[in-house]
């Protein structure tokens, strides 16, 4: 029916009772919109979509009726993280020589039949897992083999692949924080993961501690939701248990410590369930049985293939991660064990974490004290009901404490150990970001509470930009400091990569030209295009195998900055020159002979008496005489005085030619404030003391 202009009408609600009643249309209930509302009967009802953002442990107090902040989706988060992780894979330094010698080198040996072996990979000690190493073979070599490109590409392909895996794990972890703690906390956490120097260094590293960082993020993706006996809770407990087992069994055994708060919640708290006191026993018994069953099944499924592969590789029944525990925790004498490789004070990790996360570290440490302050003065900040805990419920404060506790547990336990390494903190990095994000949210909440108390206007508080500026003010300087630290590491210490690149793409081609070899010509149809674009020549480095004497590249005191055999051309022999270091050095693997066996590297099974020991005692078999070296890589730093074993080779112009040198920061001579971050300005630059990192050629070789 149509009405003329200006006609006013009245619409009445349809009758819902009586003979003319019209049934209301039922809204489609999505699976994600269902929650337990009948606490004791276990019934479920639809959750209105606008309430989805208020399901986390932490609650917004102002602007609750608003649609909420912009929260990147899982897909967008992965893409943002990929930009950073792929960049890190290409440009970040290698932070620990353990990554090269215990992981890149055995992978190189398995593929190319040459590389360095450490005592941890000798069959009499068997501390490193070949299963973990070989899992990375497809990541590193399938693409280069398919494209028929040089092995150098495999190094970066592997790092990029690890960066992709890390990005997916980080995005999953971030979404769990946003969904189950608070959307704003999740957003802060994502920004920290994206921008922190620690994640830049750790994300693409080929280390068990990085692998356990991945599994920790995946475990907490499923551990952050509240424990419950509903179908989602059962699935959640199985998945969390699997990843809490995968990290210690395949990666690094000590990281299992982080599962303790999860186990406590599963076995001792109501958490997401509501149960009367008399119902608690049955509820927790069900959860405990499920947890034990999931744990046993996970351990069996993970351990059997690991033991089988490692026993196959080492030639005897062996479980490397058990050997790690036995060596590090139950060493039989003071001459063995982790402490012989160096000890650090209890404050070492605090200083190191501050370098990698700047003031996010004190914010993370503040999370539990800040929660206590919030409990006292802003009680409604936690819990979906925003009310005091009722009978049969778990306190949201207790539940949040259990999610913040692993950070403190790991930091305290590792700080109490005498032997410390930066990589031992890698599993902690995502949790540090989460704890710091919680602190920022709580600090912002205090400001909101004070504002409302002073103005008596929650409406104005919801419209004010003050609070978003507080969180931005706490986040932005940290990201800028991290960017400064990342640039400093690349600017000050990237020379080992630069020199290795120059060696492969400038010096070795020149050597081949001098020996009468020519580069591989590009396809005829692409030759003109290659010349126009300035592509560098491609060389067949395999001809270096035919050189007599062999071309030898040597490292002296810079052995621990050796970037790995992947970045050294095929046919080049790498050797160590004796320096002041008197510990156990990596030794070249003996070549394995062709075999019809499926495992073609029999040297992984052979014991060479006297070659390796677990006491860090020197074996002179590792060294060659400096006169045998064709090339030598060495550093000249003002803080290092030449000695008989470590002469200034670069200054010895009678025997050595300087081919290529890059500046390298002398950290020992540079004030701390001029080296920990990259700060512009002539005063800071003048305070930096530089040395040289050089490629030298033997005049007599």
Q: For the segment 130-188, what is each residue's pLDDT rounded down to a tens digit?
A: 999 999 999 999 988 888 888 999 999 999 999 999 999 999 999 999 999 999 999 99
Q: What is the mean pLDDT of residues 559-569?
A: 97
The pair phi, psi for residue 420, each rounded to 5°, is -135, 140
CA 104 to chain centre: 17
- The verdict on 474 and 610 lying in the same domain is no
Neighbour tally for 392: CB within 10 Å: 15
The verdict on residue 24 lying in a domain is no
Residue where a domain stops, chosen among 445, 476, 492: 492
Range of 17-21, 318-322, 380-384 with top mean pLDDT:
318-322
- Which strand (E) or helix (H) includes residue 79? helix 74-91
Mean of all residue pLDDT scores within the chain: 90
Position 38 scores a pLDDT of 36
Position 146 scores a pLDDT of 84
- The residue behind tokens 């080296």 is 675
Q: How far apart are CA 327 and CA 126, in angstroms?
A: 11
The verdict on residue 613 lying in a domain is yes
Q: What is the pLDDT of residues 504-520, one digit of tens each?
A: 999 999 999 999 999 88
- Which strand (E) or helix (H) includes residue 481? helix 466-493
Secondary structure letter of residue 382 according to DSSP: B
Nearest CA-CA partner of 634 in 644, 647, 622: 647
Q: How confident is the model at residue 408 (pLDDT cuts 50, 70, 90)?
A: very high
Residue 47 has pLDDT above 80, yes or no: no
- The verdict on 485 and 576 lying in the same domain is no
The verdict on residue 134 lying in a domain is yes
Residue 602 has pLDDT above 90, yes or no: yes
Distances (CA, A) of 367 to 45, 200, 441, 470, 598: 34, 23, 10, 17, 53
Q: How confident is the model at residue 215 (pLDDT cuts 50, 70, 90)?
A: very high
Q: How confident is the model at residue 16 (pLDDT cuts 50, 70, 90)?
A: low
- The verdict on 566 and 612 lying in the same domain is yes
- The verdict on 456 and 572 lying in the same domain is no
Buried b (16+ CB within 10 A) or exposed e, 188-224: bbbbbbbbbbbbbbbbbbbbbbbbbbbbbbbbbbbbb
Q: Return the HEC string of 181-204.
A: CCHHHHHHHHHHHHHCHHHHHHCC
- Does residue 625 or residue 67 have the better pLDDT? 625
- The verdict on 506 and 641 lying in the same domain is yes
Beta strands in 529-655 (DSSP E): 552-555, 573-576, 587-588, 631-636
The verdict on residue 65 lying in a domain is no
- The verdict on 444 and 488 lying in the same domain is yes
Distances (CA, A) of 2 to 6, 7, 546: 12, 10, 97
The two three-digit tokens of residue 400, written as one number: 């949040």
Percent of the chain's residues with pLDDT above 70: 91
215 Cβ contact list (under 8 Å, min separation 6): 243, 244, 246, 247, 251, 255
List beta partners, residue 623. Answer: 576
- The verdict on 441 and 584 lying in the same domain is no
Percent of the chain's residues with pLDDT above 90: 76
Secondary structure letter of residue 424 according to DSSP: G
Q: How confident is the model at residue 580 (pLDDT cuts 50, 70, 90)?
A: very high
Residues shown for the chain: 701
CA 525 to chain centre: 44
Position 460 scores a pLDDT of 76
The two three-digit tokens of residue 167, written as one number: 């990005």
- The verdict on 488 and 509 lying in the same domain is no
149 Cβ contact list (under 8 Å, min separation 6): none
Q: Specify whether the CB–CB gap between 554 and 624 falls below 8 A.
A: yes
Q: How far apart are CA 402 and CA 522, in angstroms?
A: 61
The verdict on residue 99 lying in a domain is no
- The verdict on 147 and 239 lying in the same domain is yes
The verdict on residue 155 lying in a domain is yes
- The verdict on 482 and 499 lying in the same domain is no
Residue 381 has pLDDT above 90, yes or no: no
Residue where a domain stops, chosen among 467, 492, 517: 492
Burial of 107 (0-12, 13-18, 19+ CB in 10 A): buried
Position 50 scores a pLDDT of 46
Counting the structural domains of the chain, the total is 2
Nearest CA-CA partner of 237 in 211, 205, 259, 217: 259
The verdict on residue 208 lying in a domain is yes
Q: How far apart are CA 576 and CA 187, in angstroms?
A: 49
- The verdict on 470 and 554 lying in the same domain is no
The verdict on residue 32 lying in a domain is no
- Claim: this prediction has a pTM higher than 0.95: no
The two three-digit tokens of residue 439, written as one number: 């602190």
Residue where a domain stops, chosen among 442, 470, 492: 492
Buried b (16+ CB within 10 A) or exposed e, 539-565: bebeebeebeeebbbbbbbbbebbbbb
Q: What is the pLDDT of residues 345-370, one digit of tens each?
A: 999 999 999 999 999 999 999 999 99
- Tell me the CB-side half-sphere exposure of residue 233, using CA atoms within 13 A: 21
- List the domain range (segments joined by +) for residue 466: 74-91+123-492
Q: What is the pLDDT of residues 236-295, one digit of tens each?
A: 999 999 999 999 999 999 999 999 999 999 999 998 888 888 888 999 999 999 999 999
Sign (positive/negative) of CA torsion 312, 99, 551, 146? positive
264 Cβ contact list (under 8 Å, min separation 6): 402
Q: Specify whether the CB–CB gap between 430 and 216 falls below 8 A.
A: yes
- The verdict on 583 and 452 lying in the same domain is no
Q: How far apart are CA 410 and CA 213, in angstroms?
A: 12
């Amino acid at each position: 029916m149509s009405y003329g202009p200006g006609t006013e009408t009245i619409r009445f609600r349809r009758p819902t009772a009586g003979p003319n009643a019209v049934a209301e249309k039922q809204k489609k209930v999505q699976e994600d919109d269902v929650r337990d509302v009948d606490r004791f009967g276990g019934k479920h009802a639809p959750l209105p979509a606008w309430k989805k953002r208020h399901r986390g442990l932490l609650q917004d107090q102002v602007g609750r009726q608003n649609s909420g902040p912009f929260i990147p989706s899982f897909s967008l988060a992965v893409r943002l993280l990929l930009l950073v992780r792929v960049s890190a894979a290409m440009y970040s330094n290698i932070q620990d020589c353990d990554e090269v010698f215990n992981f890149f080198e055995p992978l190189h040996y398995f593929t190319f039949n040459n590389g360095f072996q450490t005592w941890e990979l000798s069959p009499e000690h068997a501390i490193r897992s070949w299963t973990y190493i070989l899992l990375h073979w497809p990541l590193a070599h399938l693409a280069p083999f398919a494209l028929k490109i040089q092995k150098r590409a495999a190094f970066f392909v592997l790092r990029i692949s690890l960066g992709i895996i890390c990005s997916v794990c980080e995005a999953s972890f971030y979404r769990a924080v946003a969904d189950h703690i608070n959307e704003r906390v999740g957003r802060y956490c994502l920004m920290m993961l994206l921008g922190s120097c620690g994640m830049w260094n750790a994300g693409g590293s080929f280390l068990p501690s990085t692998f356990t960082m991945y599994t920790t993020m995946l475990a907490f993706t499923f551990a952050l939701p509240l424990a419950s006996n509903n179908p989602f809770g059962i699935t959640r407990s199985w998945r969390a248990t699997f990843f809490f087992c995968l990290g210690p069994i395949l990666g690094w055994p000590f990281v299992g410590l982080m599962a303790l708060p999860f186990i406590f919640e599963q076995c001792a708290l109501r958490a997401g369930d509501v149960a009367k006191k008399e119902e608690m026993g049955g509820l927790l018994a069900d959860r405990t049985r499920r947890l034990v069953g999931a744990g046993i099944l996970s351990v069996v499924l993970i351990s059997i293939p690991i033991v089988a592969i490692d026993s196959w590789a080492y030639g005897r029944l062996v479980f490397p991660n058990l050997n790690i525990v036995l060596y590090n925790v139950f060493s039989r004498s003071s001459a063995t064990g982790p402490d012989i490789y160096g000890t650090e004070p209890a404050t070492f990790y605090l200083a190191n974490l501050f370098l990698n996360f700047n003031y996010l570290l004190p914010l993370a440490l503040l999370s539990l004290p800040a929660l206590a302050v919030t409990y006292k003065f802003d009680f409604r900040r936690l819990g979906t009901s925003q009310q005091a805990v009722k009978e049969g419920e778990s306190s949201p404060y207790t539940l949040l404490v259990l999610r913040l506790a692993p950070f403190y547990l790991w930091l305290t336990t590792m700080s109490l150990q005498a032997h410390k390494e930066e990589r031992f903190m890698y599993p902690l990095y995502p949790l540090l970001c989460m704890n710091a994000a919680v602190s920022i949210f709580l600090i912002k909440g205090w400001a909101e509470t004070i504002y409302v108390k002073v103005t008596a206007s929650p409406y104005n508080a919801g419209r004010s930009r003050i609070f978003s500026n507080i969180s931005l003010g706490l986040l932005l300087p940290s990201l800028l400091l991290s960017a400064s630290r990342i640039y400093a590491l690349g600017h000050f210490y990237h020379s080992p990569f630069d020199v290795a690149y120059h060696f492969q793409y400038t010096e070795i081609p020149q050597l081949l030209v001098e020996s009468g070899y020519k580069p591989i010509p590009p396809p005829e149809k692409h030759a003109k295009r290659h010349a126009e674009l300035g592509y560098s020549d491609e060389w067949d480095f395999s001809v270096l195998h035919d050189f007599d004497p062999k071309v030898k590249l040597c490292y002296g005191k810079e052995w621990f900055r050796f970037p790995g055999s992947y970045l050294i051309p095929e046919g080049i022999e790498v050797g160590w020159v004796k320096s002041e270091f008197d510990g156990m050095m990596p030794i070249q693997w003996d070549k394995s002979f062709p075999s019809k066996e499926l495992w073609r590297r029999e040297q992984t099974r052979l014991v060479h008496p006297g070659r390796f020991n677990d006491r860090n005692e020197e074996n002179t078999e590792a060294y060659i005489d400096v006169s045998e070296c064709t090339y030598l890589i060495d550093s000249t730093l003002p803080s290092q005085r030449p000695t008989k074993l470590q002469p200034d080779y670069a200054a010895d112009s009678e025997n050595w030619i300087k081919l290529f040198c890059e500046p390298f920061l002398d950290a020992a001579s540079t004030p701390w404030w001029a080296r920990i971050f990259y700060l512009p300005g002539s005063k800071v630059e003048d305070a930096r003391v530089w040395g040289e990192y050089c490629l030298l050629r033997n005049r007599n070789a």
